[in-house]
Structure 1
Amino acid sequence: MDEQLSQWRTTVEDCLRVRLESSPDCPDRLREAMAYSLMAGGKRLRPLLVLMACEACGGEIEAAMPAACAIEMVHTYSLIHDDLPAMDDDDERRGKPTNHIQFDEATAILAGDALLTLAFEILATELSSAEVAAACCADLAGAAGMCGMVGGQMADLLAESGEGRDSDRKISPHPSPPSPLNRQLSTLENIHRRKTGRLLCSALTMGGRIAGANPQTLRSLTTYGEAIGLAFQIADDLLDVCGDSETMGKRVRKDTNAGKLTYPALLGEAESRLRAEQLVCDACQAVAIFGSRGQRLEAMAHYIIARDR
């Protein structure tokens, strides 16, 4: 991570802390649970993408900081809820007990709810104009909701239980029977486009909107986001197979041992790596329109598949 990104990350964390502390009527236990997960570190990938997209489009970084904070709150809410026993049933994240283990299930659910709603309060009240605020609220809501991240989580749960494995397959006017591998790969990619990719795309397009980007530029950012979203998930699946639990701060081989649908399970490790590398190339091509202002976006695409956590 270059020095500028490190500074942005520090600024994002300072802003997150300030926003948590600026609501005196919030019950102490709820605030503690929100802060426990929100301030637990992590890559801060989504807020950094907001800022990088804003920079690439010629915008002011400070103007994009509310959106950077908002999307990290939405991401953190999703992690808290995903870790619950009714979902992924995880007991460790980032080397610490998950929120419902540290507190209790009810508090964890409420902490997630509070982070989600606070995110939209920040977007609605802190962005530079009502028009931009409305566009960003709609953007993030669509990415996080029933057709985006939440819908992706539902599809993932259904696929895990053996239901809905073919439900997202598009029907051709002249269909030929797809192979079981292609059906499974299509299901997997549809899940991850929603569960992971849509929120990454929203980070980028919110940054672009704040900078005043035109529709064509927003489409380029979306293409980049879709590519890195799938690359990110392939990297996650590979880390589940080959990663180190101490470095990652969570259990490895959990998905593999549970028999979940993953890229290495379908394609093998080598083919999965090739697929991720091609997606990174696609992402870099999409942001070539920015010239030197897109260098950080290109570097981030390469980082996504080279990371160790």
Structure 2
Amino acid sequence: MRSEARFGAWAARAEAALERALPADTAPPQRLHAAMRHATLGGGKRLRPLLVYAAGAALDADEAALDFPAAAVELIHAYSLVHDDLPAMDDDALRRGKPTVHVAYDEATAILAGDALQTLAFSVVADTPVADAVRVELLRTLAAGAAGMCSGQALDLAATGRTQPLDELQRMHALKTGALIRAAVRLGALVGGADAALLARLDRFAADLGLAFQIRDDLLDIEGSAEQLGKTAGKDAAQAKSTYPALLGMDESRRRLHRLGDAMRDTLAPLGERAAALAALGELAIHRDR
């Protein structure tokens, strides 16, 4: 199956798993549940669920078992976006081409929706049909990804309005963007029974993928439009945030992006064809236009 068709099938699986996991918006409290569904369903690149499925596919993991961590990691991502868009943080009005949750509902509902999505994620991953020891590792991995993401967001807020050194910027994004991407790859590999050596190799790939994703994001914030991106363009410059283009320039940022692509390909090369889906996602992160 070609990568595009495979990714489409996996995205549909993730959407169905999210639909099953989320409470109906007819169940009380309806406003909270509607906000949770607004934040999660029917949009987004679904990169993190795709990474769960792709890592699992490299080990012939059961896709039905992968549905649980795939949905869980997207629930964590959705909660982070709800909170990230709040006036106290990035104060954004557009996400995935529609009003952000605090705009569509209200700030209090957005905070509660984010809280509820996060706790739901751990409930979902705890139901993964694997051995108890593996389930504990899944929970630990998801928690580490969420905690790292929050630490990165805190560093981002603290750095707003000042120029960060490059090494500090990279550490921040290794947490804010990279931690949940690394968790997604590890979740899929754990379901597939990966040993320590393979987990370490996949973590190297995921770390490079997370950085590549962020550099591409920084470039798109300059080059893209709100219609293209589904969110407000030019926010980084407006908030005086340090970015890779701001520190390195556009050309050097693109060169670094392509060096990361080379590194990802080298890391996956020993795995051969079984890592084809992961490799394709690495290419997608580098060349995406939204």
Letter in 2 for 1:291: G
Shift of 1:85: 0.4
Shift of 1:24: 8.1
Question: Within the alignment, does 1:304 sit opposite 2:285 as a pair?
Answer: yes
Aligned to 1:99: 101
Alignment match, 2:144: 142
In 2: Cα distance, 1:119 partner to 1:127 partner: 15
Change (3 A) 1:304 1:261: same
Indicate the larger mover: 205-214 or 251-260: 251-260
C-alpha change, 1:97 and 1:25, in structure 2 (3 Å) is: closer
Amino acid at match of 2:214: Q
- Distance in 2 (CA, whole Å) between partners of 1:4 and 1:133 is 26
Q: For structure 1, which runs of at least 5 residues remain unmatched after alignment?
A: 166-182
Deviation at 1:289, TM superposition (A): 2.3
> Structure 1-normalised TM-score?
0.90
Per-residue CA shift, 1:136-164, capped at 9, x if unaligned? 1001101111xx100000000111154xx
What is the rounded CA distance, in whole Å, between the counterparts of 2:223 and 2:7 in structure 1? 28
CA distance in 2, matches of 1:271, 1:118: 41
Partner in structure 2 of residue 73 of structure 1: 75
Kept in 1: contact 2:78–2:114 (CA 8 A):
yes
- Describe how 1:157-306 pairs up with structure 2 within 5 A: 157-162=157-162, 184-306=165-287
**d(CA) in 1 for partners of 2:199 and 2:23?**
34
Q: Tell me how far apart the structure 1 counterparts of residues 229 and 113 of structure 2 sit (CA, whole Å).
A: 24
Please give the residue correspondences for 1:22-171 in structure 2 after superposition, counting only pairs within 5 Å: 26-145=28-147, 148-162=148-162
Rg comparison, structure with higher value: 1
* 1:269 shift after superposition: 0.5
Q: Offset at 1:257?
A: 2.6
What 5-or-longer segments of structure 2 have no aligned partner? none
Q: Distance in 1 between matches of 2:99 and 2:238?
A: 21
Structure-2 separation of matches of 1:87 and 1:22 = 29
How far apart in 1 are the matches of 2:272 and 2:28? 45
Asked whether the equivalents of residues 91 and 98 of structure 1 are also in contact (C-alpha less than 8 Å), the reply is yes
**Alignment partners' CA distance in 2, 1:205 and 1:71:** 11
Over 3 Å counting, the alpha-carbon distance change for 1:204 and 1:244 in structure 2 is same
Partner of 2:14, secondary structure, is helix
CA deviations on 1:164-208 (whole Å, 9 max, x unpaired) are x7xxxxxxxxxxxxxxxxx71011100000001111000001101
Letter in structure 1 aligned against 2:152: G
How far did 1:23 drift? Answer: 9.8
Q: Give the share of equivalent positions with the same residue, in percent.
A: 44
Displaced runs of 4 or more, over 2 A: 21-26
- Give, in angstroms, the shift of residue 299 of structure 1: 1.2
How does the TM-score come out when normalised to structure 2? 0.96
Which whole-Å CA distance do the structure 2 matches of 1:80 and 1:253 have between them? 19
Cα RMSD of the aligned pairs, angstroms, is 1.5
* Cross-structure match for 1:177: none
Report the Cα distance in structure 1 between the residues aligned to 2:208 and 2:12, rounded to whole angstroms. 27
Asked whether the equivalents of residues 71 and 121 of structure 2 are also in contact (C-alpha less than 8 Å), the reply is yes
Partner SS, residue 88 of structure 2 = coil
Distance of 1:133 and 1:25 partners within structure 2:
29
